[in-house]
Amino acid sequence: MNYPPEPTGISPYTGALAAGLAARGHETRALTTHPHYPDWRIRAGYGQWSRNENIDHVAVERLLHYVPRQPRRISRLLSEVSFGLRLALRSWGRPGAVVAVSPALFSSAIAYASARLRYRSVPFIVWVQDLYSQGLAEFDGRESAGVRLARVVERWLLGRADRVVVIHDRFVPRVRDDLGVSADRISVIRNWTHLPPIPEVDVAAARAGFGWSEGEKVVLHCGNMGVKQGLENVIEAARLAAQRGEHVRFVLVGDGSERARLQKLGAGIPTLQFLPPLDSQDFPAALRAADVLLVNERPGVSEMAVPSKLTSYFSAGRPVLAATDPLGITAEEVRAAGAGVAVQSGAPDVLLDAAIALVADPERAAAYGESAQRYRETVLDADFAIDRFATLVSTLASAAPAAAAVGPATQEPPMPALPA
């Protein structure tokens, strides 16, 4: 459901994988939506019933689907189902392998059912970016009917996929034990840093351009402003900083379904700033010019996902502060990278004190930044990850019998790779 030119979230990875497969000799086709994330509005110039493009040697077909203005539980389900139905009604050619990205879980499940009706033996790979049912359970705080439905669908889909690719080792026991996928069908391929190495930045000029004064310390949060991020915590930390007279500025960069509400909540707080999504030049400059890079998650979020912003943060050479479950997957990733510190989510005073402590110790902050960059250059190398994915696709496709399409699709030429 997410593909470039969407600037954030899963899109940079799906686009880079498709382009990477094409660069490695796979004829690659992407069936996707019109760009609509993170503001949940189809971008100007898009919105046709279908639209064909060629991006980085990938044949991209965009299918119009339902985009809810307020992406709540039922509306998001309808959005996924509408995309899944569009997929089911399109010709896929004769693929050598199909890669479906979850989330979206329900459109991926429809895609799987469609693939099995069309073809006898084409390998079907599910690339799990977030654990869908786990995420719902963490939001609900209980075993609700929605959680049970999502778990049934997730077990059904992952249990039937030829391979399940997860983005972190911590996902493996969840997928194996909770969702019943045998260990030999699970592969771990880490998400990578999708930004090129950040060039040297004139920090003083960048800070002046963003309106940051020389004496204040900037704590920067980039990316989606949704429910999962729990950014009320940052608003209250900024309010507390103003009340205490601290020279700290909390900056929220990006867009999302909660932005308007957050701006209203934070109106009049002098230590709080909102910036729109930044372009490819200003975004790395903002990362370099900030003093601390912030990940904030809603209380209860623990195991569902690894925030994609971390891969960008690690490129910047700045310390990372994670307000999250200290025992959760995000905190573990920050500690594994030696990139910064994790504190309990939902505690504005703790967040503010941790930020002040980080900026008060420049040597410690610099060490965190250097460690994060080393982690980015080794563990999060893009070529290594995409090479592994390309090998996986090739191995599964070559081991399967030739694709046998049902009906008119047999008249179309082979299509060796299809990210759905």
Q: Which residues of the chain have pLDDT under 70?
A: 140-142, 302-304, 402-420
Pairing verdict, β 29-33 and 163-166: unpaired
Written as one letter, the residue type at 49 is W
Distances (CA, A) of 256 to 8, 40, 46, 291: 11, 7, 19, 24
Give the model's pLDDT for residue 300.
82
Task: Give the count of beta carbons closer than 10 Å to the beta carbon of residue 363.
Answer: 7
Give the model's pLDDT for residue 402.
56
**Strand ranges of the sheet holding 50-55, from the earlier edge strand across to the other edge:** 29-33, 58-63, 50-55
Give the model's pLDDT for residue 303.
67
Distance CA 117, CA 253 (A): 44
- Written as six digits, the tokens of 350 are 């703790």
Distance CA 246, CA 249 (A): 9
The CA-based angle 326-328-334, given to 5 degrees, is 70
The CA-based angle 228-231-234, given to 5 degrees, is 150
Distance CA 282, CA 181 (A): 43
- Alpha helices, DSSP H, located in 282-403: 282-289, 309-313, 329-337, 348-359, 362-378, 382-399
Distances (CA, A) of 208 to 84, 97, 204: 46, 50, 6
Distance CA 246, CA 32 (A): 46
In which element (H, E) is residue 111 found?
helix 105-118
Give the model's pLDDT for residue 412.
37
At 150 the three-state DSSP class reads: helix
Spatial contact of 342 and 335, defined as CB atoms under 8 Å apart: yes
Give the model's pLDDT for residue 241.
97
Distance CA 315, CA 369 (A): 9
Distance CA 402, CA 27 (A): 16
Distance CA 367, CA 184 (A): 39
Q: Count of alpha carbons within 13 Å of 299, Cβ hemisphere only?
A: 8
The torsion angles phi and psi of 218, rounded to 5 degrees, stand at -105, 125
Give the model's pLDDT for residue 304.
66
Measure CA of the first residue to CA of the last residue in the chain; give whole Å.
8
